[in-house]
Structure formats: C-alpha cells, structure tokens
C-alpha cells in the first residue's frame, strides 16, 4: 500500500494516516494509551472538583477518549474492506476489465475533503456545547477543551466518511454497469454487495456503539433521535443505492432468458404437432426430450434470484439496522418499569 499512497487524495489526509501506520508501535497500543490516559485525566479532575465520588468511574469520562481513537480508525477499516473487495473482484474478472481503480475509489477531491472537515468540525464543536452540555453537564467543566477536540475529530471524520460515501456510491454504480451480468455466475455482483454491506454495518456498529458506551441517554433526546435517523438512513442508502440499478438489470436479463426459452418452446411445440400429424415417432421422441430439457431450464431459471446479494448478506445487515430500535425500546421499557 505504501507505494500507492501518492496516488490517493487528498494527500494530506492519507499522509496523516500513513504517519500513524509508520509508528514503531502498533496503532491499537497507541489507541489504548490515549483512551486510558484520557479516562485517567478526566477522572482525576472530576474527583478533585468533587463532581464524581473518589474511586467511582463515570461512563462518559471513561469513554470520551474512544471518540478520538475509534472514529478515525473507521476510515482505515473501510479502506481495508474496499481493498479486499477490489482484490476479489480483480481475481474474478481479471485486471483491466474495469476502469474504476482502487485509488480513485478511496480518494476524495481535496476541496471536498476540506469542506467536509470544516463542516464536520463546526458541527462537532456545536454539538459538544449543546448536546453534551445537556446530557452530561460535567463535560463542560472537566477538561472541556479535550472533550471539544474529541467531538471535533468525530464530526470531521464522520462527515468525511459520509461525503466520500456519496462519491463511492456513484463509482459503485459505474462498476456495476461495467460488469457483464451472468445470472448463473453472480459472484462479481455479490462481491460488491458484500462491500456495500460491510460499509453500512461498520458505520452502524461504530456510530451506535460509541453512543452506548458514553451517553446511552442520548437515544431518548431529540438530537439522539435525529442522529439515529441520519445514521440509519445513510447506512441504508450506502447499501441500496449502488445495488438498485443492477437489480433492474438482473431482472431484465432474467426476463430476456425466459422469453428466449418461451420462443424455443413455441418452435418445439410447432415441430411436435407436425411430427404427430405425420406419425413420425422418431421425431416425436427427440422433440419430447427437447421439451423436457427446456422445461428443466425454465424451472432452474425461475428459481434464480435477481437480487444482487446473498441471503447471509442481508442477515448480517439487519441486526445492525435494528440496534437503535432495540436500544430505544429497552430504554423506554426500563424508564416505564423503574419510573425514571
């Protein structure tokens, strides 16, 4: 990957990630140190100020450092998933069969990335002073500058991922258009659909997981419901939008093959009637075999799915989509049961 880094844009973003990759210690260890150090620093200040009893851990103060570690890692995780999908696709189709290269798929125009970072940073900062202040008031007095940095980083990376997802949806649709559809060998299509599902599941699990660790009450707030709706909608769009066009192509391809079999059956039936009228038993036996073969072909073709994904792909996506609903219903049930 290192030899390809200059081909990716924006270069400043890729070089930043490359810097952390080149550190002499693994990134997971760096992340662990950052999270632990953040939790310790926040708790020491909170204990000193008397906001939290000494020795007691606060969920938000313990998890706030995760934002600056986990969210940026999502970008690289999505990159690795895309690289794996492209390698699998090239192994099935052969190099040179598609004109959307991996660097192009993983890149963003520099100006668009800058806009995403600015929009995300401003949004994260404002959300920190609005939502965090409302749900966790101590966030505004316990190292507020560090909390703001975490929210700014989160907002920037999330917005980058969303903006790039929009670009990638367009590129994925181009990829699907370049694949020669074969209903009897849909493996290339399934490869890309798994990539779309992996993107959606990763975004859902990370987005909801961080909230559950730090501010579970966020789901009961107005901002939380809006957040859940946006995250879920983006995940569905990332999965469905690139695949909608190929579903139509697969359906039309299946109808065309069924129409061709119908024409063959009509010709065989016409010849069969002629053979019967002329008492040509040899022709009748041969035509009966042809009718049986066409019938078998039709039955096989009718059972072929026209959805560009396997069943297990959907089964892996649905639980992630249901996470916010399960969390919300569980919290409402606990609130009603405990009267809080």
Q: Which of 127, 157, 132 is nearest to 143 (CA)?
A: 132
Question: What DSSP character marks residue 25?
Answer: S
Residues 121 and 127: their CA atoms lie apart, in Å, by 10
Residue with tokens 């100020």: 49
Residues 91 and 100: their CA atoms lie apart, in Å, by 15
Q: Is 108 left (phi over 0), alpha (psi -120 to 50) or beta?
A: beta
Q: How confident is the model at residue 115 (pLDDT cuts 50, 70, 90)?
A: very high
Q: Token pair for residue 16?
A: 């930043």
Q: Which of 149, 147, 131 is nearest to 139 (CA)?
A: 147
pLDDT tens track for 232-273: 888 888 888 888 878 888 888 888 888 888 888 888 777 777
Q: How confident is the model at residue 1 (pLDDT cuts 50, 70, 90)?
A: very low
The three-state secondary structure class of 196 is helix
Measuring CA to CA, how many Å separate 79 from each of 174, 181, 266, 267, 282?
A: 19, 26, 52, 53, 63
Question: What DSSP character marks residue 3?
Answer: G
Judge contact between 196 and 172, C-beta under 8 A. Answer: yes
Judge contact between 251 and 316, C-beta under 8 A. Answer: no
Q: Which sequence spans correspond to the domains of the chain?
A: 2-242+326-338
pLDDT tens track for 65-102: 888 888 888 888 888 888 888 887 777 776 666 777 88
Q: How confident is the model at residue 3 (pLDDT cuts 50, 70, 90)?
A: very low
- CA torsion, ordered 158, 164, 166, 167, to nearest 10 deg: 180
Residues 187 and 192: their CA atoms lie apart, in Å, by 9
pLDDT tens track for 150-207: 889 888 988 888 888 888 888 888 877 777 777 777 878 888 888 888 888 887 877 7
Q: Token pair for residue 151?
A: 């929210």
Radius of gyration for the alpha carbons in the chain, expressed in angstroms and rounded: 28
Judge contact between 315 and 309, C-beta under 8 A. Answer: no
Residues 308 and 179: their CA atoms lie apart, in Å, by 12
Mean pLDDT of the chain: 80
Measuring CA to CA, how many Å separate 82 from each of 53, 77, 104, 198, 296?
A: 46, 9, 11, 9, 39
Task: Give the orientation angle of helix 144-178 with respect to helix 222-277, to 10 degrees.
Answer: 10
**115: cis peptide before it, omega within 30°?**
no
What length is written for the chain? 340
Q: How confident is the model at residue 108 (pLDDT cuts 50, 70, 90)?
A: confident
- For residues 115-144, one letter each, b for 16 or more C-beta atoms within 10 angstroms of the residue's C-beta and e for the rest, the string is ebbebbbebbbebbeebbbebbebbeebbe
Please report which helix (H) or strand (E) contains residue 16, including its range.
Answer: helix 11-21
Please report which helix (H) or strand (E) contains residue 293, including its range.
Answer: helix 281-303
């Amino acid at each position: 990957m290192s030899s390809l880094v200059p081909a990716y844009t924006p270069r400043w973003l890729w070089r930043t990630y490359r810097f952390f990759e080149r550190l002499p210690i693994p990134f997971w260890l760096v992340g662990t140190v950052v999270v632990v150090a953040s939790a310790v620093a926040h708790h020491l200040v909170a204990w000193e100020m008397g906001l939290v009893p000494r020795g007691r851990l606060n969920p938000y103060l313990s998890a706030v450092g995760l934002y600056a570690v986990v969210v940026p890692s999502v970008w690289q995780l999505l990159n690795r998933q895309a690289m794996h999908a492209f390698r699998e696709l090239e192994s099935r189709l052969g190099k040179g069969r598609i004109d959307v290269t991996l660097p192009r798929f993983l890149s963003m125009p520099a100006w668009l990335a800058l806009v995403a970072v600015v929009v995300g940073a401003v949004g994260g900062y404002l959300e920190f002073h609005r939502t965090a202040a409302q749900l966790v008031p101590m966030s505004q007095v316990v190292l507020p500058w560090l909390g703001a940095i975490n929210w700014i980083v989160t907002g920037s990376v999330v917005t980058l991922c969303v903006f790039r997802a929009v670009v990638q949806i367009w590129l994925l649709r181009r990829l699907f258009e370049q694949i020669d559809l074969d209903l009897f060998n849909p493996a290339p299509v399934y490869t890309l659909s798994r990539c779309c599902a992996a993107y959606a599941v990763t975004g859902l699990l990370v987005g909801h997981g961080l909230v559950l660790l730090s501010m579970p009450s966020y789901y009961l707030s107005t901002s939380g419901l809006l957040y859940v709706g946006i995250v879920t909608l983006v995940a569905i769009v990332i999965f469905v939008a690139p695949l909608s066009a190929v579903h139509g192509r697969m359906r039309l391809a299946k109808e065309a093959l069924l129409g061709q079999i119908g024409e063959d059956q009509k010709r065989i039936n016409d010849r069969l009637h002629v053979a019967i009228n002329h008492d040509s038993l040899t022709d009748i036996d041969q035509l009966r075999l042809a009718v049986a073969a066409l019938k078998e072909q039709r039955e096989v073709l009718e059972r072929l799915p026209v959805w560009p994904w396997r069943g297990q792909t959907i089964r892996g996506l649905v639980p992630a989509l249901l996470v916010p609903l399960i969390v919300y219903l569980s919290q409402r049930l606990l609130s009603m049961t405990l009267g809080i």
